[in-house]
Structure 1
Amino acid sequence: MNRIFRTFFIFLLLLTTRNAIAVTVDTSAEKPIYDVSHALVNDLDSLFNLASTAGAAPIQYTDNLDQLYERAPLAQNELSRLLNDISQTCHTQVIIPEIKTYQRAQQKIQRKFEGDASYITDIARATLVADDVSTLMRSYHALNQSTEVVQVKNRFAEPKASGYRDVNLLVKLPESEMIVEVQLHLAKIADIKSGPEHQVYQQIQQIEDIAQAEHRPLNDFEMMQIVHLRQSSHKLYHKAWLSYKRQSLAQFDPTHIGDQPQAA
């Protein structure tokens, strides 16, 4: 009986040893897995995670409007140089408008800032227009390195009621030390803003100005008009924004493109 038990035990031992020998251990370094979908999301995530700033509004170095306008040409030239450098590096389009007129600045200060000129920050301003989300984010990082970003309004994360999206920045220039406005646009959205949306904006502004001039709130009919106008704008902006999301997907995985609806 002991002999039979001993033979059975040896058989089990041999079987176990054979299985153990058959198992091989791969000691080579684990190869990183390049997750295409994760790389894709990073561009959009970076944009959505660009937090809008909170707290008190930035103010200029003085509340004297005449002094601000004395320095404005210097600031506009400085801003133009900086953005042209960024444009060449990141392949964006630069738009440098004229300095805001003194009269318009006065109107804005009285209407919006209760007469305090230190709060006006768009006397000198400019726009960078990108063809895709990645380029827009590269432009932001380049601007952040060459200036002091003092305010961020991320309207991609929180679009306007019309569906309009951009990144609106206030930056303090290193030489003139003046705060100026820089808008980061995507091309198709910028085209809508300067075209169909501009007409909608003018109509809405006219409706609101009439109510304000008469010192009354908007009535139901006026509110319905504004809702209808904004809905038409929203459709245009939404379609343009979806095209950029699909464009980002296509850069990494063409199988993601389709007619399936995408989240706004």
Structure 2
Amino acid sequence: MNKFFRTLFIFLVLLSTRQVTAQPLAPVDKQDDKVPFGLNLGTNNALDILYSIPDFQAYQPIQQSADLIDLMTQADLAQTELGQLLSVISQQNKTTMLLPAAKSYQRALQKVTHKFEGDARLITDLARGSIVANNVDDLMASYKMLAENSEVVQIKNRFANPKASGYRDLNVLLKLPQSQMIVEVQLHLQTIANIKSGQDHKHYEQIQQIEAIASIEHRPLNEFEIQQITRIRQQSHKQYHKAWLVYKRQAITTDYPQAA
């Protein structure tokens, strides 16, 4: 009898071991299928996806060198690399690429001295560019390609959190794969970009002039000047808001393509 139970026990142990080893492995997520940072593709509406991108900083954006002259040399290479990337993106998404001239050494030195207390590692816009889209779908497709082809270091989503003036854009700091330099890319919508460079710039100059007069006279702004500035800012906000409403209505009727 004891021999029977011993044989049965050994049989059950062997059966249990066989069942454990025969279990399939848990599925492993494919890294190649990861969604670019900030893109919540649970919805196919481009406007919802844009709103869902959070303000974000992976780490403090710091360049690899503290020597401004060295950084200026690196920036020339990075600007070329960025230009190639933005050119491909703009061609595929029917957007406009803007690639300004690199910052001059004097302007860069002034910014490092006054804003960053002499720490050249903190300057992130020596190489920079912009993408201007005609609709939210093209803007989101452009951001997706940026995130897929470089490292997202920081995001300021001014579409979800606009400036007090009503201005909106997507400001992104990226680390480029070849130069390993941190660069700045702004993603704009065309009408909003036009307002910023046109009428809003004039409004900015008007406010600066009013404030300069008070500064020269060593006095605070008077009530009339405050009312002037308030009225000017309200005009800017009204223009930006009107332009954004057009893009919102347009985006609501358009679906963003789902990831493959």
Q: Indicate whether the TM-score tops 0.5.
A: yes
State the Cα distance separating 1:54 from its structure 2 match.
4.6
Equivalent position of 1:11 in the other structure = none
Quickly say closer, same or farther: Cα 1:197–1:217, change in 2 above 3 A.
Answer: same
Equivalent position of 2:179 in the other structure = 176
Quickly say closer, same or farther: Cα 1:179–1:218, change in 2 above 3 A.
Answer: farther
- Cα pair 1:91 1:135 within 8 Å, conserved: yes
Which has the larger Rg?
1
Equivalent position of 2:198 in the other structure = 195
1:247 aligns with 2:250: yes
Consecutive unaligned residues in structure 1, runs of 5 or more: 1-38, 253-264
Equivalent position of 1:66 in the other structure = 69
- Cα pair 1:189 1:237 within 8 Å, conserved: yes
- Cα pair 2:132 2:189 within 8 Å, conserved: yes
State the Cα distance separating 1:41 from its structure 2 match.
7.2
- Structure 1 residues 137-161: Cα deviation after superposition (integer angstroms, max 9, x where no partner): 1110100011111010000011011
Equivalent position of 2:112 in the other structure = 109
State the Cα distance separating 1:227 from its structure 2 match.
2.2
State the Cα distance separating 1:119 from its structure 2 match.
1.2
| % identical equivalent positions | 57
Equivalent pairs, count: 214
Equivalent position of 2:50 in the other structure = 47
Quickly say closer, same or farther: Cα 1:54–1:148, change in 2 above 3 A.
Answer: closer
Quickly say closer, same or farther: Cα 1:75–1:165, change in 2 above 3 A.
Answer: same
Q: In the aligned structure 2, how far is the partner of 1:43 from the partner of 1:191?
A: 22
State the Cα distance separating 1:210 from its structure 2 match.
6.7
Map 1:124-203 onto structure 2 (within 5 A). Answer: 124-203=127-206
State the Cα distance separating 1:201 from its structure 2 match.
2.3
Q: In the aligned structure 2, how far is the partner of 1:107 from the partner of 1:204?
A: 24
Equivalent position of 1:13 in the other structure = none
State the Cα distance separating 1:232 from its structure 2 match.
0.9
1:98 aligns with 2:98: no
Residue type matched to 2:66 in 1?
D
- Structure 1 residues 45-99: Cα deviation after superposition (integer angstroms, max 9, x where no partner): 1111100115864111122111111111111100000000111111111011101
Q: 2:88 aligns with which of 71, 85, 88?
A: 85
Quickly say closer, same or farther: Cα 1:76–1:227, change in 2 above 3 A.
Answer: same
State the Cα distance separating 1:116 from its structure 2 match.
1.6
Residue type matched to 2:63 in 1?
Q
Consecutive unaligned residues in structure 2, runs of 5 or more: 1-41, 256-260
TM-score, normalised to structure 1's length?
Answer: 0.73
Equivalent position of 1:32 in the other structure = none
Quickly say closer, same or farther: Cα 1:206–1:111, change in 2 above 3 A.
Answer: farther
Compare relative contact order (CA 8 Å, sep 6+) and give the higher one, 1 or 2: 2
TM-score, normalised to structure 2's length?
Answer: 0.74
